[in-house]
Chains A and B, each alone.
Chain A
């Protein structure tokens, strides 16, 4: 009898515990039952043979692997990878960091495969400690320069990209011999931060939102009661609002593409015309050694507009093609039913606004008239961003200043396509939505009160909100 009673109590307790576990909110994870919902051209581009040809050529160039010499020359002498599309691949070209075994299974982190694939020489390069096969793709920066004693110097801000690999040891790199930056010392000295690739879906729409629209949205949200401020990063040349990159530091997609081609792949182009040394080599040293210059043997810039091209798309430079590809990429298509069903998603969307997420993650903004294609004209960009920079607190701060953004300020990350992203936040520190939401709360963050509101929701309400986010 006693045994029976005890068993009953245990069974009831177990049921309660498991019920509680079952109802606890969880990140639904990458949405895998609706196909790939990003990476397509705008409908108006598809309808125009010339525009579509441009888009397809841009896509091909985006996915092309570069080498030091040969048909696709210019790689290096320092670089993070040899192709735009290798990093921007989840869930489709133009996206962000991939990982094996997660829908649509693009593949392992390509940075982890560079020696195996012969992109770099294993005798002169090592895979940095922070690069793993299961991702994320990472760009590394040292917030501060090391001093002559090997200590990071807080009075000497660096913040530039420290490319992971060198061409040294490749058969097409001649005698160029470069060492990789001191990643291990940077780790020990807490002098390293990471960035993952920003998705570029829908960026043509973002580029076509007038400053007046952004300013009006800012003014409308400024009188909130949730602790949110916000500011814009301005282009240093003309003072207009810049909008691309994790800190909204780039004014246009062309600049974004030109800088990435130069910084991430080491390819000089018509916007960034020299091979790029590391920040310290450039500012504190003598630049790249002579035997690492003009490795392609074609002079500078390595990527140019081709006056001998036969068609518009073959005349255009690689950077121009990247720009066109990104401008013509449509915004991701959200699901109305997955995950969690239509009711949960609709409820989650309401909660998203009610607790204040939408103050910064502005659900939509309207574009202005476009000279490029009708799909960009007067369109509703469902970006879930105000394109402002916000103080995100000490926990997320990376101590890197870009343009007017300080070390704790980041552009409100557009959430379109979030349902099929694997890695979250600027450095990909988490793949769990709950972790990403909780990271919004720390000393100095504008989002602390909103995160507090999230914590005040019931578990089922939180689940609705998570379902909504993964429906995007």
Chain B
């Protein structure tokens, strides 16, 4: 026998004996591990997501893309910046968007851990008016609805009222809980067909007023207003239900697999040629993202014309199982 061949045969036999030994004793892999120095997974990190938000590209801003940096909250999608009070910070980031279009953009609170009545919190949130479960069509209607649907345990301290903040029009609504001795002051405006809302909570109304005063340093897009925020200018105009009826020239329906019973709200930007330029999934499983993306990029739309010229348009489409609004807004409330 050739020496090289005999050495190779010995190695093969050794390898087989090792394999046989491993099979006859402890298993490794699957539910078992015999690695004496394994690598540990990171703690407190979400690695397995359910339905989540995503987008067809990473360049186009999305509503949930805001950040607090250098003590300033900025959000490119909404075109706003908000300087925090020097001793306030964002400790915890918010959850992903809900499948009814509710966003927690930032949660701000005092940086220290001291207890006392001077403490409070600021919630910056947005509600996509294309997917709200109310019948509100504007930020103003949504806040009026808030007031009309307020539970009896709360006391209205100031009904929805139009105010000016940072040279833009907001609707302000104050209420409180006598039993909790807490006050909520909400200021809302509309940007790109979303209600963008600042909710101040504290036991101390003076603190809240001082925080509201500091909102004057905000920067906002020109469109911001309780009913006026419908995009345009630097960003696409937003139109509810544009992707239907005669506006859709070609349509390919996505085919969902195993997961098909959850709502899949999608915002799209249609370019001047009537093609889908950008897709933003508020909440979808990865296989649904793939199916809808493949389908939507085949859709063709009638270009949206403004003053006779085609412009980009942003609209919403609900795939999957759409929940139905169960309530109606009040008409007996503030008007603009």
> Is the beta-carbon distance between B39 and A218 smaller than 8 angstroms?
no
Interface presence of A191 (CB below 8 A): yes
Q: Which of B68-76, B162-170, B267-275, B322-330 contacts A (4 or more CB under 8 A)?
A: B322-330
Interchain CB contact under 8 A, B29 and A239: no
Contact assessment for A182 and B33 in the assembled complex, using a CB-CB cutoff below 8 Å: yes
Partner of B32, one of A144, A146, A444, A458: A146
- Complex formed: what's the CA distance from A82 to B115 in Å? 49
Closest B residue to A457 using CB positions: B180
Q: Could you say which residues of chain B place their CB within 8 Å of the CB of A216?
A: 326
Query: Quick check: A189 and B39 within 8 Å, CB to CB?
Result: yes
Instruction: Tell yes or no: B132 within 8 A of A by CB.
Output: yes
Tally of A-B Cβ pairs under 8 angstroms: 253
Instruction: List the A residue with the shortest CB-CB distance to B258.
Output: A236
Do A152 and B125 form a contact, CB below 8 Å, given A220-B327, A234-B261, A354-B177? no
- Main DSSP-derived SS at the A contact region: loop
Q: Is the CB of A185 within 8 A of B38?
A: yes
CB distance from B301 to the nearest CB of A (A): 30
Given A159-B48, A223-B132, A239-B261, are A280 and B92 also a contact pair (CB < 8 Å)? no
Chain A 445-462, CB-CB to B under 8 Å as 1, else 0, gives: 110110011011110010
- Asked if A223 contacts B142 (CB within 8 A), the reply is yes
B33–A185 contact, CB under 8 A?
Answer: yes
How many B residues touch A, CB cutoff 8 Å? Answer: 79
Are A223's CB and B260's CB within 8 A?
no
What is the chain A residue whose CB lies nearest that of B142? A223
**Known A227-B94, A227-B107; contact A399-B179, beta-carbon cutoff 8 A:** no
| Set B31, B96, B153: member contacting A444, Cβ < 8 A | B96
Contacts of B149 in A (CB 8 A): 220, 223
Interface string of A194-237 (1 = CB under 8 A from B): 00000000000000000000011011101101110111101110
Question: Which of A231, A354, A400 contacts B48, CB < 8 Å?
Answer: A400
* Chain A: minimal CB distance from B21 (Å): 15
Chain A residues with CB below 8 A from B51, complex form = 231, 404, 406
- Are A284 and B30 in touch, CB under 8 angstroms? yes
**A223 to chain B: which residues have CB within 8 Å?**
127, 132-134, 142, 145-146, 149
Pair B100/A157 contact, Cβ less than 8 Å: no
9-residue interface stretch from B196-204, B232-240, B310-318: B196-204
| Docked CA distance A391–B186 (Å) | 24
Are B179 and A229 within 8 A (Cβ)?
Answer: no
Task: Determine whether the beta carbon of A280 is less than 8 Å from that of B95.
Answer: no
**Contact across chains for B325 and A456 when beta carbons are under 8 A apart:** no
Q: Is A143 close to B, CB under 8 A?
A: yes
Instruction: List 8 interface pairs A-B (beta carbons < 8 Å), by A numbering.
Output: A150-B34, A179-B32, A191-B41, A222-B102, A225-B186, A234-B321, A444-B96, A449-B104
List 6 tightest A-B contacts by C-beta distance, closest first. Answer: A280-B30, A150-B35, A406-B50, A229-B98, A407-B48, A219-B326
